[in-house]
Amino acid sequence: MGPAVGTAKAPAGEPNAVDRLAELLTEDLNAVDALIHQHMTSPVGVIPNLAAHLIDAGGKRIRPLITLAAARLLGGGGDGPRKLAAAVEFIHSATLLHDDVVDLSSMRRGKKSANLVWGNSASVLVGDFLFARSFNLMVETGDIQVLDILARAASVIAEGEVMQLAAANDADTTRERYMEIIVAKTAALFAAAARAGAVAAGRPGAEAEALETYGRELGLAFQLVDDALDYGGRSLTMGKNTGDDFREGKVTLPVVFARDAGDEAERAFWRRAMGGERTDDDFHRAQALIRRHDAIALTLDAARDHAARATSAIAALPTNAYHEALDELALFVVERAH
Amino acid sequence: MGPAVGTAKAPAGEPNAVDRLAELLTEDLNAVDALIHQHMTSPVGVIPNLAAHLIDAGGKRIRPLITLAAARLLGGGGDGPRKLAAAVEFIHSATLLHDDVVDLSSMRRGKKSANLVWGNSASVLVGDFLFARSFNLMVETGDIQVLDILARAASVIAEGEVMQLAAANDADTTRERYMEIIVAKTAALFAAAARAGAVAAGRPGAEAEALETYGRELGLAFQLVDDALDYGGRSLTMGKNTGDDFREGKVTLPVVFARDAGDEAERAFWRRAMGGERTDDDFHRAQALIRRHDAIALTLDAARDHAARATSAIAALPTNAYHEALDELALFVVERAH
């Protein structure tokens, strides 16, 4: 299977919900990939090289799939949703490039990250290029409503990233604060991707609302599972390192649960570890405390709640293969952690 | 005289062409400043603080002034051009924040640069935020044509920045290559600012073309003068350090002229200095060679040519105070170097 499907395969090699969604939308997805490659060209060689390193590395294309499925679910099709789907993937890619600079990451999708290969400066600038190209694509649809949706999402994502940066090394980060961060940095793009698909299908009203909620809740479930996996191994299948969040001093929900359930000595550990320098031994201690307090299971429970809200948000929408696939996707996003 | 006028004052304290343009457009400019401040708010405190540090530091607001003057020259006014002018300033500000990260700058507009105060990560992310907000502002105009113009400019700017990055430390950079870089990284936004003003005034045809050419040529003149000044002192009035380009290994037109006119020993110096590590002594040698070959004067001659092309591009447009002010601006952009 091409670059559209990916790293989060079902263990036994059988197709998972992302694979099946990609299968259902093969034609759309091929068109989106063509648009992506067409719009990342530039006479400035570094740009397509760096962009391809990231974009062709086997990302799951979950966000563009959501845009396409949302449009198809409501009977929409054609060029509009495809261009938006490509635009959504560009916004996501730009964000990843800048994230990796901010986090000083060295791995992404199982490969060396672009900042490590080309340097931080090139990653910043090519991120800017992809971000600009996402707007070129949206402009091509001629639809100011979807520009509004995605431009708003883009500024919310940046707010979320800055919030996360400001909260780094703050051992007292609350669950509420953490949720606020992930609503902005992750869920906003999922929500906008789904809403834009509905709007492109000519349904800007209640259906768009429902799909926006689906996207937001799915995005939350997705991020919660990611944050659980960061303490749970599987670094090979996920294409990223375990322990990244801990090393970067990001207080995610597993830490919040373990910290709040811990005794005084444990809370002192979290204060020291999240607030300052962290060693590999600290990470193993953190993992042990997270296990002791069942914090992974609690985090996955929270993810499951959001996934359930995602499917119930669209329950009243037409029943068809796309609707079914979106329901399955919500289940899969949580189950991939097991 | 608020933040709209600025650092490039006429020496004797008498108003220069930027001041006069700002005076002519006082009401518009105040509205633009209000829009800017309104759109840079965020509950995430770092964002408005960092943005204000840059945006309120006394930038000249040349690009938004061009948008406003272009619209007024053609009889346009009201909210549209103001929103675009604010959007143009946001794109410019985002670019400056990212530039300073790429160049590891420590000074901007006579103050510590934002990356030095808040760190590179915050500068990258707040740049992203301002860039997204520029599209929010454009969406508010409801005009897909101007979105097209500015989204294209944004991707060209990023291409120019990447080209510049790729050319850094390349002692053999040709004049053609240098021009290609500054057309993209600087002139594209001036051109788009002027064109967007014309389009917002309801004149997307020949008038928009003329103003786009004005903007592009003015932008080239502006950048050439900047590059000349980087070898010419006046670091205090310009709010930046002399020698930045040299230290960053950027081969600008003064270097191209001096290198190409130099003897073998001089060319060897340029090859070594631009291609590798540079000392303060190297900078003084570079300045001496640039003086010997009249490379500053030659660069300013080139700037003067572009400024003349700017004014002749709009010669056939209606004669009025805005037209006059744009003509004066083109003269001033070159004369500020003397």
CATH of the domain at A317: 1.10.600.10
DSSP-derived 3-state class of residue A273? helix
Query: Is B122 in Cβ contact with A120 (below 8 Å)?
Result: no
Within a domain: A67: yes
Give the pairing type, strands B107-108 and A111-112: unpaired
Q: In B, which residues are within 8 Å of A47 by CB distance?
A: 158-159, 162
Q: Out of A147, A157, A162, whose CB is closest to B126? A: A162
Q: What number of C-beta contacts closer than 8 Å exist between A and B?
A: 136
| pLDDT one digit per residue (tens) for chain B, 338 residues | 333 333 444 445 678 999 999 999 999 999 999 999 999 999 999 999 999 999 999 888 999 999 999 999 999 999 999 999 999 999 999 999 999 999 988 888 889 999 999 999 999 999 999 999 999 999 999 999 999 999 999 999 999 999 999 999 999 999 999 999 999 999 999 999 999 999 999 999 999 999 999 999 999 999 999 999 999 854 444 555 689 899 999 999 999 999 999 999 999 999 999 998 898 899 999 999 999 999 999 999 999 999 999 999 999 999 999 999 999 999 999 998 77
> Chain A residue with minimal CA distance to B139?
A148
Within a domain: A8: no
Query: Rounded to an integer, what distance in angstroms lies between the CA atom of residue B194 and that of residue B216?
Result: 9
Query: Rounded to an integer, what distance in angstroms lies between the CA atom of residue A154 and that of residue B90?
Result: 14
* Alpha-carbon distances, residue B325 vs A224, A266, A329, B86 (angstroms): 57, 68, 59, 20
Task: Kindly report, residue by residue over B142-157, the tens digit of the pLDDT.
Answer: 999 999 999 999 999 9
Residue from B70, B91, B90, B95 nearest B80 by CA:
B70
Residue from B256, B55, B296 nearest B171 by CA:
B256
Q: Out of A126, A151, A159, whose CB is closest to B135? A: A151
Within a domain: A1: no
CB of A308 less than 8 A from some CB of B: no
**C-alpha distance from A148 to closest chain B C-alpha (Å):** 6
Query: Using the 8-state DSSP alphabet, how is residue B1 labeled?
Result: -
Within a domain: B262: yes
Look up the domain containing B165 and give its range. Answer: 17-335
Within a domain: B163: yes
Query: Rounded to an integer, what distance in angstroms lies between the CA atom of residue B160 and that of residue B166?
Result: 10
Within a domain: A159: yes
Q: How many domains does chain B have?
A: 1
Question: How long, in residues, is chain A?
Answer: 338
Q: Out of B42, B122, B124, whose CB is closest to A124? A: B124
Task: Kindly report, residue by residue over B311-333, the tens digit of the pLDDT.
Answer: 999 999 999 999 999 999 999 99
Q: In B, which residues are within 8 Å of A169 by CB distance?
A: none
Q: Decide: residue B338, CB within 10 A, 0-12 exposed, 13-18 middle, 19+ buried.
A: exposed
Within a domain: B304: yes
CB of A133 less than 8 A from some CB of B: yes
Predicted confidence (pLDDT) at residue A10 exceeds the cutoff of 50: no
Contact B172, B252 (CB under 8 A): no
> Chain A residue with minimal CA distance to B142?
A144
Give strand pairing partners of B112.
Answer: B107
ipTM for this prediction: 0.94
Q: In B, which residues are within 8 Å of A147 by CB distance?
A: 135, 138-139, 144, 147
Please state the pTM of the whole predicted model: 0.94
Within a domain: A50: yes
Residue from A187, A225, A208 nearest A303 by CA:
A225
**C-alpha distance from B97 to closest chain A C-alpha (Å):** 11
Q: What is the pLDDT of residue B215?
A: 98
Give the pairing type, strands B111-112 and B107-108: antiparallel
Residue from A55, A50, A12 nearest A37 by CA:
A55
Interface of B with A in 142-171 (CB under 8 A): 142, 144, 147-148, 151-152, 154-155, 157-159, 161-163, 165-166
Query: Is B148 in Cβ contact with A121 (below 8 Å)?
Result: no
Query: Is A46 in Cβ contact with B128 (below 8 Å)?
Result: no
Query: Is B46 in Cβ contact with A126 (below 8 Å)?
Result: no
